[in-house]
Structure 1
Amino acid sequence: MSYPGYPPAGGSYPPASGPYQQAPGGYPPQPGAYPPQGGYYPPQPGAYPPGAGYPPQAGGYPAAPGGGFPPQAGGYPAAQPGTYPNMPPAGQSGGWGGQPGFGAPGGGMPQGYPGVPAPGQQPMPAFPGAPNPSMPGYGGGVPTGPTPPAAPAVNKGYRGTIKDFPGADPLRDVEVLRKAMKGFGTDENAIIELLGTRSNKQRVPLKAAYKTTYGKDLVSDLKSEVKGDFEDLVLAMLKAPAHFDASELKEAISGAGTDEACLIEILSSRSNAEILEINKVYKAEYGKSLEDAISSDTSGHFRRLLVSLSQGNRDEKETVDISLAKQEAQKLHAAGENKVGTDESQFNAILCARSKPHLRQVFHEYQQMCGKDIEKSICSEMSGNVESGMVAVVKCIKNTAAYFAERLHKAMQGVGTKDRTLIRIMVSRSEVDMLDIRQEYLRQYGKSLYTAISGDTTGDYKKLLLKLCGGSD
């Protein structure tokens, strides 16, 4: 059996050599489909990108009005009757990226995310995520007043590396996967090519489509065919974001020793809506609240820090009160450098409750007042997990892409690779800010992230990671 636009039945997938030859009637679709033939930018109401503009906030995640990445009411969508798991109904926002889910009722292409224009709309610049000068930048994260803090330049346009594959059909995609796993041996290249060119909202429905078509479990079949780090990466890519984060938190808490850095990484970098959805999934999957799990496995001020972050209750307004930022910088100075002993609870209250744009201003005021970075003050006043946790929160708020670049570098540094960290960051950031992380990696370490991954990993695992990386710099 063959389908228009997909590889012919008699050949391997992907083709063994030469450029992909499109079958008549295949990709690209006929007029009116992707890429659109007419229409102009800016998009019409309801299309991608959102009217408020998109790129990431200075030093932070891509933000919708109200802050966070992107904070949708209720977090990731619950499954709706008749749709694939975790996909929102047509016309509603939600999920990772806040656009109509793949496979939602109503038919047609999902609108826009990640980076695919709506029908009748001018396509975005060519991959990998070249800036679009006409695209309005979301400026709410820039503090007002005469002394704005230093912040990384805001990059315009979509900053992920993985985008929706135009016209992808889960029923056709699972046939490709089934063919790759049938018979003698496994066609790993076919699995890499398919998963590495589908967005998360196009990958997640494959599990339901596979079971519908073949009466078998896709995850079980993949486990029997692929092994090691490649298996872990493939299975991570088939999880919805909230489910993936919940499983990573569970492993960080209950695995061999507590992975404190993983707990801080996830809880300090997700939006309120995402954290609330993670809490729901964690309770449903593991029969215990995330807060209780954290409380039973950590202690002291580090536990307080994690519990505060796990509430998903950070202020997400984009406005900055300069006078309040000055006051809070003084409070932090009084609680640390200017006090015998350290009042960690004052740091906790400010770092976990205030908005990220506001905190960037607080850090700037602190630097102006004390003549030193707040991270250095924390390191001189605290120790152990609470020190590393507080420093990580500050770094993530100051410049999220730089924080993740450092995490990736440490994961690949020295003898042995922290593969769980490498997989988690590459999967979870591939549709968020991977282009920015690549820029920061090159700036900080003098070589591209692509080169670092190539030198530290091997085989099919390396090939799929490089798909997520998206290219060299």
Structure 2
Amino acid sequence: MSYPGYPPAGGSYPPASGPYQQAPGGYPPQPGAYPPQGGYYTPQPGAFPPGAGYPPQAGGYPPQAGGYAPQAGGYPPQAGGYPAAPGGGFPPQAGGYPAAQPGTYPNMPPAAGGWGAQPGFGAPGGGMPQGYPGVPAPGQQPMPVYPGAPNPSMPGYGGGVPTGPTPPAAPAVNKGYRGTIKDFPGADPLRDVEVLRKAMKGFGTDENAIIELLGSRSNKQRVPLKAAYKTTYGKDLVSDLKSELRGNFESLVLAMLKAPAHFDASELREAISGAGTDEACLIEILSSRSNAEIREITKIYKAEYGKSLEDAISGDTSGHFRRLLVSLSQGNRDEKETVDISMAKQDAQKLHAAGENKVGTDESQFNAILCARSKPHLRQVFHEYQQMCGKDIEKSICGEMSGNVESGMVAVVKCIKNTPAYFAERLHKAMQGAGTKDRTLIRIMVSRSEVDMLDIRQEYLRLYGKSLYTAISGDTSGDYKKLLLKLCGGSD
């Protein structure tokens, strides 16, 4: 589905049949000549306008190398016409097309000598495009800029294609809401707790009523049910559910009644203090959450369990794996979206020097880069590393490291490369083979149902040739299966 405010996927922007439609009052592109407009110079045969300045030319405006040069007696600004830039005329830019400005095409570095090494503004042979780049034509509204969308005020970028390194294969960015659970219209906590109370009251439990209600409420609609239940009935909802439900279905229901940060904190606590350490759970949560989410988790962990998350990690892990987890738990990763290619090349060289090009491995260099740099930057680093070494960064890590630090570093790389694919793989492993890792299955289905479950489903189908819905159906049963499938949201 599309997100309010975004154009429908597919087709051109803005949505219209056929080519881009200019608003009334704009300059429609006409082959060969400037169209006459009311209130402007009277059109003369062969040229626009006659007199001092631009001499009449057969066929209309001549193309000028480097764009419109300021000329004495040139086209003066007219009331209601196109505004002239300071200095008279449309000024030529040193070196051709200027660097990207707000409202222009994003993330496209200019090549040497102008856009695509072409004279002028990028049209073939230095000719002028229809309309000044980034400026709406008279009578038109300014165009909003959606990242990655074409700007209709910009014509085709001439014969020049910017040269430079091939960008890394970044995960597809799907616009709009990518979760499967949405707010239920008109949900009322007092009516909802009445349904839950009725489902648990008397002989037997109406599990279907619980599944239908919780499976159709968003997290922010589920969490207040605990307070509303206590207010209405003077009893604890969690305690009543525990007394009525059993097994994995109970665990799933209780997980759905926790706010995301509280749920993550409780999962980290269980991973650290349970029988043995669940290293994969620690890495999964800490490598996939934003800085703000990690800081909220650490605050709740300290309040709930009386010690800092960092101290808990330090007391239960060791060596380079401990350093990796402590670094991730700080919630200080760079979150800028911009990428500096030269810096990415330097980081790729540092990783190569710390691993493949060294006797032994400098894990601390991997730690410093993987835990501090932004995710878009790291995707470029991994691409540069592949170009430089002819080897994928994951394979290098597997060849250079071992044990928990190896699996931890690889998980961080996978999560940064493509988060939905990382979670699809985690779900597949949880259901693969003898026995199901239900804690992992519950955690991912609950925590990603309002984030990127639609993308995880796409990646699961791509990677394993069957839908996530089918996999869950074949590996679980009963009420537990029904509620998991509600979170999954459908088959692909």
Task: Tell whether the structures are fold-level matches, with TM greater than 0.5.
Answer: yes
Residue in 2 that maps onto 1:32:
32
Deviation at 1:103, TM superposition (A): 54
Separation (CA, whole Å) in 2 of partners of 1:442 and 1:415: 22
Residue in 1 that maps onto 2:8:
8
Residue in 1 that maps onto 2:66:
none
Deviation at 1:270, TM superposition (A): 0.2
Paired residue for 1:358, among 377, 391, 394? 377
Residue in 1 that maps onto 2:182:
163
Aligned residues of 1:241 and 1:428 also touching (Cα < 8 A) = yes
Deviations 1:245-279 (A, max 9, x none): 00000000000000000000000000000000000
Aligned residues of 2:339 and 2:377 also touching (Cα < 8 A) = yes
Q: Tell me: CA distance 1:363–1:241, structure 2 relative to 1, closer, same or farther (3 Å).
A: same
429-438 or 149-158, which deviates more: 149-158
Q: Tell me: CA distance 1:278–1:161, structure 2 relative to 1, closer, same or farther (3 Å).
A: same
Deviations 1:65-95 (A, max 9, x none): 99999999999999999999999999xx999
Residue in 2 that maps onto 1:220:
239
Deviations 1:109-141 (A, max 9, x none): 999999999999999999999999999999999
Deviation at 1:145, TM superposition (A): 6.1
Aligned residues of 1:317 and 1:355 also touching (Cα < 8 A) = yes
Aligned residues of 1:427 and 1:468 also touching (Cα < 8 A) = yes
Aligned residues of 2:6 and 2:175 also touching (Cα < 8 A) = no
Aligned residues of 1:261 and 1:389 also touching (Cα < 8 A) = yes
Quick one: higher RCO (CA 8 Å, sep 6+), 1 or 2? 1
Deviation at 1:415, TM superposition (A): 0.4
Deviation at 1:9, TM superposition (A): 43
Deviation at 1:162, TM superposition (A): 0.2
Deviations 1:226-252 (A, max 9, x none): 100000000000000010000000000
Aligned residues of 2:255 and 2:263 also touching (Cα < 8 A) = yes
Deviations 1:7-63 (A, max 9, x none): 999999999999999999999999999999999999999999999999999999999
Aligned residues of 1:141 and 1:318 also touching (Cα < 8 A) = no
Deviation at 1:168, TM superposition (A): 0.3
Aligned residues of 2:27 and 2:35 also touching (Cα < 8 A) = no
Q: Which runs of 5+ in 1 are unaligned?
A: none
Aligned residues of 2:472 and 2:485 also touching (Cα < 8 A) = yes
Q: Tell me: CA distance 1:199–1:13, structure 2 relative to 1, closer, same or farther (3 Å).
A: farther
Separation (CA, whole Å) in 2 of partners of 1:342 and 1:370: 16
122-131 or 340-349, which deviates more: 122-131
125-134 or 200-209, which deviates more: 125-134
Deviation at 1:188, TM superposition (A): 0.2
Separation (CA, whole Å) in 1 of partners of 2:449 and 2:5: 25
Deviation at 1:157, TM superposition (A): 1.8
Separation (CA, whole Å) in 2 of partners of 1:7 and 1:190: 37
Deviation at 1:432, TM superposition (A): 0.3
Q: Tell me: CA distance 1:56–1:37, structure 2 relative to 1, closer, same or farther (3 Å).
A: closer
115-124 or 243-252, which deviates more: 115-124
Whether 1:450 and 2:472 are equivalent positions in the alignment is: no
Q: Tell me: CA distance 1:18–1:154, structure 2 relative to 1, closer, same or farther (3 Å).
A: closer
Deviation at 1:152, TM superposition (A): 2.2
Paired residue for 1:440, among 459, 463, 471? 459
In the TM superposition, what are the counterparts of 1:94-243 in structure 2 within 5 Å?
146-243=165-262
Residue in 2 that maps onto 1:283:
302
Q: Tell me: CA distance 1:305–1:180, structure 2 relative to 1, closer, same or farther (3 Å).
A: same
Aligned residues of 1:401 and 1:433 also touching (Cα < 8 A) = yes
106-115 or 141-150, which deviates more: 106-115
Whether 1:75 and 2:96 are equivalent positions in the alignment is: yes
Separation (CA, whole Å) in 2 of partners of 1:232 and 1:357: 36
Question: What is the TM-score with the length of structure 1 in the denominator?
Answer: 0.71
Deviation at 1:428, TM superposition (A): 0.1
Deviation at 1:296, TM superposition (A): 0.3
Q: Tell me: CA distance 1:204–1:435, structure 2 relative to 1, closer, same or farther (3 Å).
A: same
Separation (CA, whole Å) in 2 of partners of 1:259 and 1:56: 71
Q: Secondary structure at the match of 1:50?
A: coil
Aligned residues of 1:233 and 1:461 also touching (Cα < 8 A) = yes
Q: Tell me: CA distance 1:106–1:31, structure 2 relative to 1, closer, same or farther (3 Å).
A: closer
Separation (CA, whole Å) in 1 of partners of 2:444 and 2:83: 16
Deviations 1:298-324 (A, max 9, x none): 000000000000000000011100000
Separation (CA, whole Å) in 1 of partners of 2:405 and 2:373: 19
Separation (CA, whole Å) in 1 of partners of 2:377 and 2:454: 25
Question: What is the TM-score with the length of structure 2 in the denominator?
Answer: 0.68
Q: Secondary structure at the match of 2:304?
A: helix
Q: Secondary structure at the match of 1:437?
A: helix
Separation (CA, whole Å) in 2 of partners of 1:220 and 1:78: 62
Aligned residues of 2:120 and 2:126 also touching (Cα < 8 A) = no
Aligned residues of 1:129 and 1:435 also touching (Cα < 8 A) = no
Deviation at 1:155, TM superposition (A): 1.4
Q: Secondary structure at the match of 2:102?
A: coil
Deviation at 1:153, TM superposition (A): 1.8
Aligned residues of 1:64 and 1:70 also touching (Cα < 8 A) = yes
Q: Tell me: CA distance 1:162–1:57, structure 2 relative to 1, closer, same or farther (3 Å).
A: farther
Deviation at 1:147, TM superposition (A): 2.5
Deviation at 1:156, TM superposition (A): 1.8
Q: Identical aligned pairs, as a percentage?
A: 95
Aligned residues of 1:70 and 1:97 also touching (Cα < 8 A) = no
Paired residue for 1:429, among 428, 431, 448? 448
Aligned residues of 1:395 and 1:403 also touching (Cα < 8 A) = yes
Deviations 1:304-347 (A, max 9, x none): 00000000000001110000000000000000000000000000
Residue in 2 that maps onto 1:341:
360
Aligned residues of 1:328 and 1:362 also touching (Cα < 8 A) = yes
Q: Tell me: CA distance 1:261–1:253, structure 2 relative to 1, closer, same or farther (3 Å).
A: same
Aligned residues of 1:60 and 1:396 also touching (Cα < 8 A) = no
Deviation at 1:146, TM superposition (A): 3.9
Deviations 1:200-244 (A, max 9, x none): 000000000000000000000000011000000000000000100
Q: Tell me: CA distance 1:69–1:30, structure 2 relative to 1, closer, same or farther (3 Å).
A: closer
Q: Tell me: CA distance 1:147–1:234, structure 2 relative to 1, closer, same or farther (3 Å).
A: same
Deviation at 1:154, TM superposition (A): 1.5
Deviation at 1:163, TM superposition (A): 0.2
Separation (CA, whole Å) in 2 of partners of 1:74 and 1:31: 28
